[in-house]
Amino acid sequence: EPIAITPADIVGRKQCLPSSSTNWGTDIGKAWRAKQSLLKDWWRRWHQEYLKVIRGALLEMDVRGSQIKEGQLVLIGDKKHRAFWKTCKVEKTYPGRDGPVRTCLLRGPGNKILRRPIQLMYPLEDCFH
């Protein structure tokens, strides 16, 4: 049974891959390909099992903005590969004229301030409280 993938695996640096003490043999190329295969499989699972599920769950809700709260950690969707998406903290939410939150002020890496629409945000589980 595979271990469930969560955002804490990346943010908390928790490892769900086999440890480096696994015996890969003496062939360095074979060991490298095996580790690359594990990494590729991990990212495939991350995309299929977590991002798609959380995205679908949020889209099913009538008011997506109600899921975004100040102080929450979010991944910011980008044109870059998902491995390079920024993790940011929601500093302030801005509701639209109809009430639901539409954009947020975010604090990113290096204390950089960003303003992004909620459509680009993937809320991380509340695993740090």
Q: Mind giving me the DSSP string for 72-122?
A: -EEEE--SS-GGGPEEEEEEEEEE-TTSSEEEEEEE-GGG-EEEEEGGGEE
Alpha carbon separation from 51 to 18, 77, 117, 125 (Å, rounded):
22, 11, 18, 12
Is residue 47 assigned to a domain?
yes
Sign of the C-alpha dihedral computed for residues 6, 10, 13 and 15 taken in this order = positive
Amino acid making up residue 67: Q
Read off the pLDDT of residues 35-72 as tens digits, 9 standing for 90 and up.
888 888 888 887 777 777 777 666 655 444 557 889 99
* Domain finish residue from 35, 60, 85: 60
Is residue 21 assigned to a domain?
yes
The pLDDT value given to residue 37: 86
CA angle 99, 102, 47 (to 5 degrees): 135
Residue 15 structure tokens: 């490892």
If asked whether residues 87 and 46 sit together in one domain, one would say no
Could you list the residue range(s) of the whole structural domain that residue 45 is in?
Answer: 8-60
**How many whole angstroms separate alpha carbon 69 and alpha carbon 123?**
9
The pLDDT value given to residue 104: 94
Residue 54 structure tokens: 């959380």
Sign of the C-alpha dihedral computed for residues 96, 72, 108 and 56 taken in this order = negative
- The number of distinct structural domains making up the chain is 2
If asked whether residues 36 and 71 sit together in one domain, one would say no
Is residue 98 assigned to a domain?
yes
If asked whether residues 68 and 97 sit together in one domain, one would say yes
Is residue 104 assigned to a domain?
yes
Residue range 11-30: average pLDDT?
Answer: 61
If asked whether residues 40 and 74 sit together in one domain, one would say no
Is residue 129 assigned to a domain?
no
If asked whether residues 114 and 77 sit together in one domain, one would say yes
Quickly state the pLDDT bin for 19 (edges 50, 70, 90).
low
If asked whether residues 70 and 41 sit together in one domain, one would say no
What's the CATH code of the domain at 75? 2.30.30
If asked whether residues 28 and 73 sit together in one domain, one would say no
Average pLDDT, the chain: 77
Asked whether the whole model's pTM tops 0.75, one would answer no
Q: Would you say 105 and 115 are in contact if contact means Cβ atoms under 8 Å apart? A: yes
